[in-house]
Structure 1
Amino acid sequence: MRLQLKSIICLCLAIFCLHTSPHTADAAKKGNGFRFPSFKVTYFQYKQKQKYYRKVFNFASVIGKKPVVMFYFLPQHAPSITELKVFAATSKVFKDSVQFFAVTKAQTRKEAQAAYKKMKELKIDIPVLLDEKGLMAYVMLTRRVPSYAVVTRSGYLRLARASQLTETIAPGVSLLQFITKVSKGKEPPFARALGYSPNPYDLIGKKAPSLTGKYALKDGKGSLSGMLKKKKPALVVFWSVTCPHCQATLPPLCEYAKKKKAFDMLGVVRTDKKQLKNMLKALVKKHTPMQAMTMLSPEKPTSTAEYRVMSVPTLFLVDTKGVIRAVNVGGGKHIQPIIDRMLESLKKPKSKS
Structure 2
Amino acid sequence: MRTRVFWALGVLLGLALAVQPGQRIPEFALWDPQGNLVTPATLKKPAVLVFWASWCPVCRAEFPGLHKVAEETGVPFYVISREPKDTKEVVLAYMKAYPRFIPLLASDRDKPHEVANRFKVLGQPWTFVVDAEAKVVALFAGRAGREALLDALLLAGVEVP
| TM-score of the alignment, normalized to the shorter chain, above 0.5 | yes
1:212 matched to 2:34: no
Cα shift at 1:194? 2.3
Equivalent residue letter for 1:236: L
Provide the C-alpha distance between the structure 1 equivalents of 2:52 and 2:93, rounded to a whole number of angstroms: 16
Structure 1 residues 275-296: Cα deviation after superposition (integer angstroms, max 9, x where no partner): 63333333233x2xx2122111
Contact in 1 for aligned 2:124/2:142 (Cα 8 Å): yes
Match of 2:42, SS?
A: helix
Provide the C-alpha distance between the structure 2 equivalents of 1:340 and 1:322, rounded to a whole number of angstroms: 18
> Which residue of the partner structure matches residue 39 of structure 2?
223
- Runs of 5+ in structure 2 lacking a partner? none
Contact in 1 for aligned 2:15/2:141 (Cα 8 Å): no
Equivalent residue letter for 2:104: L
Equivalent residue letter for 1:303: V
Provide the C-alpha distance between the structure 2 equivalents of 1:272 and 1:314, rounded to a whole number of angstroms: 16
> Which residue of the partner structure matches residue 20 of structure 2?
203
Contact in 2 for aligned 1:268/1:296 (Cα 8 Å): yes
Aligned residues, how many?
Answer: 153
> Which residue of the partner structure matches residue 102 of structure 2?
294
Distance 1:196 1:319, change over 3 A: closer
Equivalent residue letter for 1:278: E
1:249 matched to 2:57: no
Provide the C-alpha distance between the structure 2 equivalents of 1:315 and 1:322, rounded to a whole number of angstroms: 14
Contact in 2 for aligned 1:270/1:297 (Cα 8 Å): no
> Which residue of the partner structure matches residue 277 of structure 1?
88
Matches within 5 A, 1:302-317: 302-317=114-129
Match of 1:258, SS?
A: helix
> Which residue of the partner structure matches residue 342 of structure 1?
152
Match of 2:64, SS?
A: helix
Distance 1:235 1:257, change over 3 A: same
Provide the C-alpha distance between the structure 1 equivalents of 2:124 and 2:76, rounded to a whole number of angstroms: 19
Match of 1:327, SS?
A: strand
Contact in 2 for aligned 1:198/1:308 (Cα 8 Å): no
Distance 1:255 1:342, change over 3 A: same
Cα shift at 1:272? 6.5
Distance 1:203 1:270, change over 3 A: closer
Provide the C-alpha distance between the structure 2 equivalents of 1:266 and 1:251, rounded to a whole number of angstroms: 14
Provide the C-alpha distance between the structure 1 equivalents of 2:54 and 2:27, rounded to a whole number of angstroms: 23
Contact in 2 for aligned 1:224/1:266 (Cα 8 Å): no
Instruction: Give the TM-score, by structure 2 length.
Output: 0.77
Contact in 1 for aligned 2:95/2:103 (Cα 8 Å): no
Higher strand share: 1
Cα shift at 1:233? 0.3
Match of 1:245, SS?
A: helix
Cα shift at 1:197? 6.9
Equivalent residue letter for 2:99: Q
Cα shift at 1:323? 0.9
Q: Which has the higher contact order (CA 8 A, sep 6+)?
A: 2
Provide the C-alpha distance between the structure 2 equivalents of 1:272 and 1:196, rounded to a whole number of angstroms: 20
> Which residue of the partner structure matches residue 113 of structure 1?
none
Cα shift at 1:345? 2.9
> Which residue of the partner structure matches residue 142 of structure 1?
5
Max Rg structure: 1
Distance 1:208 1:281, change over 3 A: closer
> Which residue of the partner structure matches residue 49 of structure 2?
236
> Which residue of the partner structure matches residue 323 of structure 1?
135
Alignment RMSD (CA, Å): 2.8
Match of 2:105, SS?
A: strand
Cα shift at 1:270? 5.4
- Runs of 5+ in structure 1 lacking a partner? 1-134, 145-160, 164-192, 348-353
Equivalent residue letter for 1:213: L
Provide the C-alpha distance between the structure 2 equivalents of 1:264 and 1:254, rounded to a whole number of angstroms: 10
Equivalent residue letter for 2:5: T
